[in-house]
Amino acid sequence: MSAAVTVALLFFLSVALNEQVTEGCTCLPRHPQQHFCTSDIVIRAKVIEKVSCTRPGLNAYKIQTIQTFKQLDKKRIQVIYTRTTPNFCGISLYNDEYLLSGRVEDGRVILNLCDLVKPWNQLSQVQKEYLSIYQKGCVCEISPCTGESCLIKILQKKCLMRVTNRYWLDDEKALRSICLPGNDGFCRWQQILNK
């Protein structure tokens, strides 16, 4: 292989790899129910402090669990982990109360930028109420749609959610609703508020 071809190939690979790193943390818009259903844990917790961590690439935070909405095992969660750098979807947490959703990897709860990690006081009352109901809708699929494709009425285990582009959720009705199966087995958006 000639030197010019080798240099061109190396340049192409470096650009491609660089693109993967910068795109590695792009998060697609997701409904809170999707976050709930795909997470191993969903809890309301108070972040107490950042603590020392012996795992490279991770930050550790001591937490106090206030309420558990979903958890695979009943082991008490006292420490959660986040990635250390934004390139790897890292986030920083502060001494505040949060809704935390994430995955369990090697026995550790690890959260990243694409998980639902939000200060508790920034959640709407509807979102707070639906946290105890989302599990019932996990049999349904929520699919993004754009333009006229959102007008199609689908009778299956799927609810459509409008997105304006691949980064922005633009469906207020969906955000105030939960996707649940009806008596006919088909999934549809429903508003169920506990008054």
How high is the pLDDT of residue 154? Answer: 67
Residue with the larger pLDDT of the pair 149 and 21: 149
Q: What is the mean pLDDT of residues 141-169?
A: 77
The answer on 111 and 85 residing in a single domain is yes
The answer on 100 and 48 residing in a single domain is yes
- The 141-145 sheet, strands edge to edge: 141-145, 158-165, 168-169
**Boundary (domain end) residue, out of 103, 122, 141:** 122
**Boundary (domain end) residue, out of 78, 93, 122:** 122
Looking at the predicted structure, is the pLDDT value of residue 1 above 60? no
Within-domain flag for 1: no
How high is the pLDDT of residue 24? Answer: 57
25 labeled binding residue = yes
The answer on 131 and 86 residing in a single domain is no
How high is the pLDDT of residue 149? Answer: 77
The answer on 116 and 49 residing in a single domain is yes
Residue 44, domain CATH: 2.40.50.120
Contact by Cβ (8 Å): 120, 102: no
Within-domain flag for 7: no
The DSSP secondary structure of 9-22, one letter per residue, reads HHHHHHHHHHHHHH
Name the residue range of residue 153's domain.
Answer: 125-190
- Sign of the four-CA dihedral 175, 179, 180, 183: positive
State how many domains the chain has: 2
**Local confidence band at 47 (pLDDT 50, 70, 90 cut-offs):** very high
Question: pLDDT per residue over 95-109, tens digit each?
Answer: 999 999 999 998 899
Backbone angles phi, psi at 132, to 5 degrees: -85, -5
Within-domain flag for 22: no
The answer on 153 and 177 residing in a single domain is yes
Within-domain flag for 11: no
